Structure 1
Amino acid sequence: MATTTSITTYAGESAGKYVSAALLSGDTLSKGLIEIKPNVKYKQVLKRLATNDILKNAGCDFDPTSTVTLTERILEPEYFKVNLQLCKEDFRSDWEAESMGYSAR
């Protein structure tokens, strides 16, 4: 039988730091490669702009042959769960080392 790790709540002074660090530390988010849309409760419409051939060689002539396409995507939150087993002792020394100072094990 697998070992069960149970953390029932993230509360208290340090809770926000743990949760936000875990959620925002991935490469895609931390490097700003995608935009975070906070607090979407039900739905949000995202406008998309697609263009082709808008860059032309410099010159005196105007060539209006490019195209612009406007579309929309719906952002709609859904409930998901992650089935994962972790041992909290593997993380405790990293998460609490700063607050414990040199007494961390």
Structure 2
Amino acid sequence: MLSDWRHLSKESPTYLGTSFLRLRTLLPPKHVQPPAIKVLGGSQGAMTRFSRACLNHAPLGSYRLRFFPDKPAECPWCGVVQSRPHHKFLVQKEFFAGLCTFLEDNPRAFSFEDAPP
């Protein structure tokens, strides 16, 4: 089943959709712990936020603009509307390691904790 999924995801650009973040490092051999779990220390919260970032299912600027148009949707550091490409730019050296570090340094990033009530 996994080999079928890998084949479909590589051969058909529309199979995964436009919001799926392709990370080659997330396809490890079966006998080792996945790199994301290893780097994030098995933290359920960090893994949840990591998954939201990879699947583009996080309360970023587009979410805030759509559901809370009267609330701020800009990045507090640079004023740009928050988006996954924006966060990718912030951690661009090596995205996987950079994202993990970003999640550790920003425990509310890609969470709904700071979403407007």
Give the TM-score normalised by the residue count of structure 1. 0.26
Q: Kindly name which structure, 1 or 2, has the bigger radius of gyration based on alpha carbons.
A: 1
Greater share of helix: 2
Give the TM-score taking structure 2 as reference length.
0.24
Higher strand share: 1
